[in-house]
Structure 1
Amino acid sequence: MNIARVDLNLMVYLDVLLRERNVTRAAEQLGITQPAMSNGLRRLRELFNDPLLIRTSEGMTPTERALELQPLIREALLAMEKTIQPKEKFDPEISQRVFRIMASDYAESTLIPLVLKQVRSLAPSVTLDVLTPSDVSFHDVEQGWVDMAINRFDSLPQSFYQSRIWQDDFSCVVSRENPILNNFTLDSYLQSQHIWASKTGMGVGVGVNPEDVQRLGWVDEALAAVGKKRKISVFTRHYQVAMLLSAQNDLIATLPSRLADIERFSTKLAVVRPPFDIPSFDLSMAWSPLLHHDSAHQWLRQIIKSVAEE
């Protein structure tokens, strides 16, 4: 087949169809009508002599041929995106670009203020739009609609680039009026009431089951490893809220140390080491291959790396 006779827009259609597996959603993604997308699917089936997507009880299911084509089409489109990227070098002094960054509550409290200070100094007209994990999906990042995701990731799509920002451990934040400070041991820690703050992932969160230790995170898994369990009085999805609640003189918040250090010189709160070992964790940034070679994006990544090193 002569490629000159092939409508290459059909490859874009196929990429979106295989990702969405729904004609209506694929049409919405490309800003075309559903009949136009249905016609595109018909032409693709004729081109490849294969049904590509078959309607089943579980929705539109890709054929074996479609699954073979999907990574090849994605790679070809990424190469084309790279080819057509403008070559003009990013000039931070005059740029008015808006960078959209998904950041966890932890990253927003510890990293983003330092990044913003540096950005405002070097690029006074650049804007940061900071989104929460529940605002964003991996699909948004993959498509480049969100410049970057900053969080602690258990897993990422294979196509993503990622880089570690820093490593952190844990500290306990308690009221200076909490009598536990006179004898801060594992036993007194376990006898106290605790505030749980979530490790927020991508997508909309759900309620917590206090009995499901495997889903409660590093602190509770570390306790379970030594056969112990803490008493949790309140669950929150915001670390800053956890620190505010820890001002009550009978509650303990066990939080990442860089966050706890914000209260290091507080007259109301004390920051102490946990009376047991908790594994450290990495804060990382992840971004789409569509933006990897973008000069403005490279500039932002360098800003984040330099701030983290300092």
Structure 2
Amino acid sequence: MDISRVDLNLLVYLDVLLRERNVTKAANHLGITQPAMSNGLRRLRDLFGDPLLVRTSEGMTATERATELQPLVRSILSNIEQAVQEKTPFAAAESQRVFRIMASDYAESCLMPRVLRRIRQEAPHVTLDVLTPSDVSFLDVEQGRLDMAINRFDKIPQSFHQKTLWTEYFACLMNSHNPILKQPFTLDTYLEASHIWVSKTGFGVGVGVNPKDVQRLGWVDEALGRMGRKRQISVFTRHYQVAMLLAEQHDLIATLPSRAAWLQKDNPNLVVK
């Protein structure tokens, strides 16, 4: 295809249409008439040889082809926007910007104290707005409502810039009077104890956890399942801080990322294994 014959403004139309899933709203967003947007959609369908948006009882739904195109088109337009925007140096000391970051409470506990210390030194007027994983989606990053997402992701859009911050292993946290400490801490004694399950990412696994569905319970239970073993989970939570508090006050084991567990190293009521 000769790209010089393609009206690249149609990509702007497609980006907004796939975001709004509504021709009238997309037209209003771009400040054009509804017939003009409808004509743009018709031309897009001809260009890609696909309906792109189809009407259902729940409104307009993107086709599989449109879903594939959405992150690619957003990435193209984002690069163009960055290229034409006037670049002004970031003056940290004067900036009053609000940075919005998504992080699980595990990542937040490990990073925020150091991050905030650095910010207060170099950018004292900057504000941080830290959101939980359940508050936001990848679309918020794509559309600029979120500046950064810090978590463990199984899959992210190809258009995202990403970096591995650290690798992690698990540690067990329990109160110092837990009867399990009276014997060698082996896999068998670990499985004899009662446990607290905590979400690996801060996302829930849906309403009504099914303890038998190890495929949705995370790495620990999946690994035990491959061994033909299973632990006894008494409490399900999505918050590492809650898991640590429960481990301190009850004879329960919290299996946590080591960085989260070792935050409690100076707590005389807790033991890390």
TM-score by length of 2: 0.84
Q: Which residue of 1 aligns with 2:84?
A: 84
Figure out how many residues of one structure are paired with residues of the other and give that number: 267
**SS of equivalent to 2:128:** strand
Query: Is the 2:198–2:238 contact (alpha carbons within 8 Å) kept by the matching residues of 1?
Result: yes
Runs of 4+ residues deviating >3 angstroms: 19-28, 45-54, 56-76, 201-207
Query: C-alpha offsets along residues 13-58 of structure 1, whole Å, 9 cap, x if unaligned?
Result: 3212134433366468x386xxx56323322146457365342567
Q: Does 1:141 align with 2:141?
A: yes
Query: What does 1:159-238 align with in structure 2 at a 5 Å threshold?
Result: 159-183=159-183, 184-200=185-201, 205-238=206-239
Q: Which residue of 2 aligns with 1:100?
A: 100
**Identity of aligned pairs, percent?**
63
Query: C-alpha offsets along residues 190-234 of structure 1, whole Å, 9 cap, x if unaligned?
Result: 111100111236699543210000111111112122221000000
- CA 1:26–1:268 in 2, change beyond 3 Å: closer, same or farther? farther
Q: Which residue of 2 aligns with 1:294?
A: none
Query: Is the 1:23–1:37 contact (alpha carbons within 8 Å) kept by the matching residues of 2?
Result: no
Separation in 1, partners of 2:227, 2:205: 32
**SS of equivalent to 1:194:** strand
Q: Which residue of 2 aligns with 1:116?
A: 116
Moved more, 58-67 or 134-143: 58-67
Q: Residue type matched to 1:186 in 2?
A: L
Separation in 1, partners of 2:243, 2:212: 20
- CA 1:262–1:18 in 2, change beyond 3 Å: closer, same or farther? same
- CA 1:71–1:27 in 2, change beyond 3 Å: closer, same or farther? same
Q: Which residue of 1 aligns with 2:35?
A: 39
Q: CA deviation at 1:169?
A: 0.6
**SS of equivalent to 2:263:** helix
Q: Which residue of 2 aligns with 1:240?
A: 241
Query: Is the 2:26–2:37 contact (alpha carbons within 8 Å) kept by the matching residues of 1?
Result: no
CA RMSD of aligned residues (A): 3.2
Q: Which residue of 2 aligns with 1:284?
A: none
**SS of equivalent to 1:95:** coil
**SS of equivalent to 1:16:** helix
Separation in 1, partners of 2:52, 2:103: 37
Q: CA deviation at 1:126?
A: 0.8
Q: CA deviation at 1:108?
A: 1.0
- Unmatched segments (≥5 aa) in structure 2: none
Query: Is the 2:54–2:61 contact (alpha carbons within 8 Å) kept by the matching residues of 1?
Result: yes
Larger RCO (alpha carbons 8 Å, 6+ apart): 1
- Unmatched segments (≥5 aa) in structure 1: 273-310
Query: C-alpha offsets along residues 131-172 of structure 1, whole Å, 9 cap, x if unaligned?
Result: 001110110011111000100000111211110011111111
Separation in 1, partners of 2:65, 2:130: 40
Separation in 1, partners of 2:37, 2:23: 8
Separation in 2, partners of 1:68, 1:212: 30
Query: Is the 1:14–1:41 contact (alpha carbons within 8 Å) kept by the matching residues of 2?
Result: no
Query: C-alpha offsets along residues 226-264 of structure 1, whole Å, 9 cap, x if unaligned?
Result: 221000000001000000000134211110100000111
- CA 1:27–1:233 in 2, change beyond 3 Å: closer, same or farther? farther
**SS of equivalent to 1:246:** helix
